[in-house]
């Protein structure tokens, strides 16, 4: 860990050092209480549309990532409570130039409603990419790998399957359940990489509007499709049949919002443990912080998988019985940029321009070279990671001696709207600016070459505030409050590092980030 990061930790006070003796991850949220219980949510951040499988003693989790690159994050756990990132099923999107921010952008495209399965030594991740307009088709993809760390190979189907649930039957057949309210089954060929039999409608019940997020299971000879209805205020529905094509009967298996009133637990995946018990990871919309996963026990009642306890989602509950106790782990957040590859916590806002960023040109630093853009939403190489709840902050150290006129290099919180603190250079002079929704709120002359910027977010009112320091010790508030929103539907707010230029001559400029430091407070 770099000396600057150690200094910052010391400046935060001795309570941090005391906490480290009790918890190896004191600055990141963990659901593991260290006493055999866990407290929901599992990850207090945006891990939407979760699906899970068990392979031997390991559990694997996949999530939607929308337009962010790489896409379709895959995480691993030994106990369903402690998770760490393994990789991404999609390295980039090459099917449309808008993913490169050419002739438009790809916001809200990419990876939706992921499904993960394992069969005969191969991992499969499927997802859909909805239409960007009524005149354009969506697509459905399956990525395969022998190792969840990758490499993954992606196959794009000519058929479109919305909110897919991949299923390998015990008779060797392969199916995808998909659709919204009207549900379909499409049979795939044995390698799961092409369609064998066109879709057949299996269910249509207007009592369950927007029934979606289908995942298929076979238990004691019966077929079960788990899906959600009602969107943000949703509930979980289970369909059951003796044959994959139905007819299906239905039952509500969870309808609860008590942990976040107005936002129901809905959509996710189910898994059986070696001890025979079943568990379900289900998400809950928590506004601009994201759609967070919760872990729920499953109780079988009259052949139906009922989620939670007595009809309610659990808050603090005994951890699943996996035969032993595993150490607390969390997905990475802080980064000192000392490795040759980006940490798995990072995703670009679109396909990156690999000529305009580097971890090697200056060892121990992330260098972002400016690309041409008039505002942040048009800037291609914006590097992001999740804002987390209930509160979190991110701090960066930036060196800006490499900036050119027109450069805007900084750190902030990205969604629509967004806000940030940056160093802007114009006419050879630098200034520290705070920009909120493309309006300059504050501008302060700056003659230095190093600056520290902090962004803090909270789920209380969904607001974010900003501060800066010129000595790494004393931080001064700057600008106004960002009212975090969801202008990009279903996509949470994120911490963002960037450098763009409003002038053509500025594309030779660069900024060096020494580290990014995450704190759950």
Q: Would you name the residues annotated as active-site residues?
A: 49, 212
- CA angle in degrees (0–180, nearest 5) for 438-444-446: 115
* Among the listed residues 274, 273, 270, the one whose alpha carbon sits nearest the alpha carbon of residue 296: 270
Residues 313, 334: Cα–Cα separation, whole Å: 31
CA atoms within 13 A on the CB side of 59: 24
Give me the helix-helix angle, 3-12 and 14-22, nearest 10°. Answer: 100
Cβ atoms of 384 and 349 closer than 8 Å = yes
CA atoms within 13 A on the CB side of 53: 22
Long-range pairs of 430-437 with CB within 8 A, sequence gap ≥ 24: 430/400, 430/403, 432/468, 432/478, 433/408, 434/466, 434/478, 434/479, 434/480, 435/376, 435/479, 436/479, 436/480, 436/482
Measured CA to CA in angstroms, residue 352 lies from 137, 179, 281, 371 at distances of: 24, 32, 32, 11
β-bridge pairing 450-458 and 266-272: unpaired
Estimate to the nearest angstrom the gap between the alpha carbon of 187 and the chain centroid.
29
Q: What is the Cα gyration radius of the chain?
A: 23
- State yes or no: cis peptide before 41, omega within 30 of 0: yes
Residues 36, 465: Cα–Cα separation, whole Å: 36
* Among the listed residues 348, 366, 266, the one whose alpha carbon sits nearest the alpha carbon of residue 307: 266
* Among the listed residues 115, 131, 69, the one whose alpha carbon sits nearest the alpha carbon of residue 94: 69
Residues 269, 256: Cα–Cα separation, whole Å: 17
Residues 204, 195: Cα–Cα separation, whole Å: 22
Q: What is the DSSP string of 3-42?
A: HHHHHHHHHH-HHHHHHHHH-S-TTS--SB-SSSEEES-S
- Give residue for tokens 């998400």: 283
């Amino acid at each position: 860990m770099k000396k600057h990061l150690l200094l910052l930790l010391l400046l935060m006070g001795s309570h941090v050092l005391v906490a480290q003796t009790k918890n190896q991850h004191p600055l990141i949220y963990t659901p593991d209480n260290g006493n055999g219980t866990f407290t929901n949510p599992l990850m207090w951040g945006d891990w939407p549309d979760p699906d899970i499988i068990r392979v031997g003693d390991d559990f694997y989790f996949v999530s939607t990532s929308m337009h962010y690159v790489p896409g379709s994050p895959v995480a691993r756990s030994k106990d369903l409570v402690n998770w760490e990132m393994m990789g991404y099923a999609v390295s980039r999107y090459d099917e449309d130039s808008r993913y490169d921010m050419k002739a438009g952008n790809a916001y809200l495209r990419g990876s939706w409603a992921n499904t993960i399965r394992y069969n005969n030594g191969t991992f499969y991740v499927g997802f859909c990419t909805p239409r960007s307009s009524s005149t354009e088709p969506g697509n459905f993809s399956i990525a395969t790998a022998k190792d969840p760390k990758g490499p993954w190979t992606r196959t794009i189907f000519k058929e479109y399957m919305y909110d897919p649930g991949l299923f390998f039957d015990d008779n060797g057949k392969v199916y995808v359940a998909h659709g919204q309210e009207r549900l379909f089954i499409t049979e795939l060929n044995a390698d799961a990489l092409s369609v064998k039999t066109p879709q057949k409608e299996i269910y249509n019940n207007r009592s369950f509007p927007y029934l979606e997020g289908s995942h298929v299971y076979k238990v004691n000879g019966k077929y079960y499709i788990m899906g959600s209805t009602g969107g943000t205020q949703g509930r979980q529905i289970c369909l059951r049949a003796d044959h994959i094509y139905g007819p299906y009967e239905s039952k509500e298996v969870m309808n609860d919002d008590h942990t976040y009133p107005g936002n129901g637990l809905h959509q996710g995946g189910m898994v059986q443990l070696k001890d025979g018990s079943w568990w379900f990871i289900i998400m809950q919309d928590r506004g601009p912080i994201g759609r967070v996963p919760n872990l729920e026990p499953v109780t079988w009642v009259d052949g139906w998988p009922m989620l939670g306890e007595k009809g309610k989602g659990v808050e603090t509950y005994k951890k699943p019985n996996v035969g032993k106790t595993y150490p607390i782990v969390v997905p990475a957040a802080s980064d000192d940029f000392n490795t040759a590859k980006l940490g798995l916590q990072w995703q670009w806002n679109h396909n990156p321009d690999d000529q305009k960023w580097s971890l090697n040109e200056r060892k121990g630093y992330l260098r972002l070279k400016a690309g041409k853009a008039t505002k942040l939403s048009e800037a291609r190489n914006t590097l992001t990671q999740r804002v987390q709840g209930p509160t979190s902050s991110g701090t960066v150290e930036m060196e800006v001696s490499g900036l050119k006129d027109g450069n805007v290099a900084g750190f902030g919180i990205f969604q629509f709207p967004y806000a940030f603190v940056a160093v802007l250079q114009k006419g050879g002079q630098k200034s520290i600016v705070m920009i909120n929704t493309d309006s300059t709120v504050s501008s302060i002359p700056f003659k230095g070459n190093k600056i520290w910027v902090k962004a803090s977010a909270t789920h209380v009112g969904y607001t974010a505030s900003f501060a800066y320091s010129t000595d790494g010790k004393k931080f001064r508030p700057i600008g106004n409050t960002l009212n975090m929103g969801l202008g990009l539907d279903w996509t949470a707010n994120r911490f963002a590092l960037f450098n763009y230029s409003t002038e053509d001559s500025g594309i030779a400029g660069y900024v060096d980030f020494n580290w990014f430091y995450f704190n759950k407070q």
